[in-house]
Amino acid sequence: MGARAGDEGGGGTSSRSGAAPRASGACPGPAGAPSAPAARSVTLDDVRAARELLSGVVRVTALKGSRHLSGLVGAPVLLKCENLQRTGSFKVRGAYTRIAGLGEEERAAGVVAASAGNHAQGVALAASLLGVRSTVFMPHGAPLPKVAATREYGARVRFAGHVVDEALRAAREHAARTGAVLVHPFDHPGVIAGQGTVGLEILQQCPEVRTIVVGVGGGGLVAGIAVAVKALRPDVRIVGVQAAGAAAYPPSLAAGHPVTLAAPVTMADGILVARPGELPFRLVAELVDEVRTVGEDDLAAALLLCLERAKLVVEPAGASAVAALLAAPRAFEGPVVAVLSGGNVDPLLLQRVLRHGMAAAGRYLSLRLRLTDRPGALAALLEVLSRADANVLDIGHVRTDPRLGLTEAEVELHLETTGPRHCGEVRAALRRAGYVVMP
């Protein structure tokens, strides 16, 4: 099925029934002069030109099979490891393509960007490689490792607002004040063309692919992949995934134009965007088959699965495609390629997410029970738990609460288990030993 790897895929262009027509006017290659994104679209030729430009600059990231996910989906599932890309995400592809297209005067004025971290690092590295000064506005509270890495790649970091959209407003003001060129994280033809090179690589690495699942924030990555893949393989289904608390695309698609969310919230900072980009929105509306949403528990479970089963460190936004597979595994025709879009996760967030993911997967068990307040009672309880192979993470022993009887003590336990089945076995062991677990 599909073309040989060297051919990228079959020929032809796609158009979905009922989709809005693509904007007219071809986008010049990466070296072309910039123009207003709203007046232009992105073509397969643009993505191919970006691929040539990026040769030797970015990595052709691996496509790694997942037996566990394949078993759940009932078809082959492969992970496109953009978390192993330079700077830890796909963002360097679009940033380099955009900056490389600037003229001499524009380069001399420098570039400015806004990002929670991944685009910041991509712009900083791309600008350094091309000898261009860069300033990056980041929201307050951006993960410290991403801030440090952005500085190390050569950018000047400034802080503004608490979400990317607020930082973007500050970046626009800086551009108007200084003449620096704004490198938008997703709403520019050059950026989208660069991100689209991920799609060309997927078609080369897995010519038989039937479904590509991609995390969505502003929409640049999924739009670029859709441009490349639908032009060559219109039969491939493209599915975007958003965090439910920051899902601007479903209401925007329903309204027929970009809609701004009032207060988006998600731990997946890489896709925490309140409003779709104008150009990505047009391309998504035309070319992307479906946009799904996933909850925070889904994201946590996906991150945990990537770490445990695939041995890959992935940030919550980067794991969103896997989260969609976990949430509805039989909804995807295989072979499926899930794009792991980034791996730049704050260690403190990773620690919290792993705990949450283990709890969501039934790996933690919290219990309250009462026992007779006598010497050795607590030791006897711990012996029962030891025989049940439950690992005690934390224990609270209350003996003076007025709700307790004169000879009673209350114990609150936090246990580590191997999963839901083991949780049931632990509860059963406690009941057999005569303990009453409180609701």
Handedness of CA 221, 222, 227, 229 (dihedral sign): positive
Report yes or no: 196 and 227 within 8 Å, Cβ to Cβ: yes
Best CA proximity match to 395, nearest among 404, 380, 382: 382
52, with CB counted inside 10 A (0-12, 13-18, 19+), is exposed
Of the candidates 89, 134, 252, 341, the residue annotated as catalytic is 341
Q: For residue 107, what are the CA distances in angstroms to 12, 99, 165, 287, 332?
A: 37, 8, 24, 33, 44
Closest listed residue to residue 40, CA positions, set 153, 188, 199, 240: 188
Q: What's the burial of 384, exposed, middle or buried (CB within 10 Å: 0-12/13-18/19+)?
A: middle
Tokens of 375: 């010497």
Task: Convert 212-267 into a string of H (helix), E (strand) and C (coil).
Answer: EEEECCCCHHHHHHHHHHHHHCCCCEEEEEEEHHHCCHHHHHHHCCCCCCCCCCCC
Structure tokens at 427: 């509860």
- Catalytic member of 80, 91, 146, 230: 91
Residues 81, 342: Cα–Cα separation, whole Å: 8
Task: Please say if 41 is a catalytic residue.
Answer: no
Alpha helices in 262-376 (DSSP H): 278-287, 296-308, 320-327, 347-360
3-state secondary structure of 310: coil
CA Rg value for the chain: 25
Strand spans (E) along 93-189: 111-114, 134-138, 156-159, 181-182
Rounded-to-integer distance, Cα 321 and Cα 202, Å: 15
Instruction: Quote the tokens at residue 356.
Output: 């949450």
Neighbours of 106 (CB within 10 A): 17
Do residues 397 and 370 make contact, with C-beta atoms less than 8 angstroms apart?
A: no
Whether 91 is a known active-site residue: answer: yes
Q: What is the helix (H) or strand (E) element at residue 338, kind and residue range? A: strand 336-340
Residues designated as active site: 91, 341
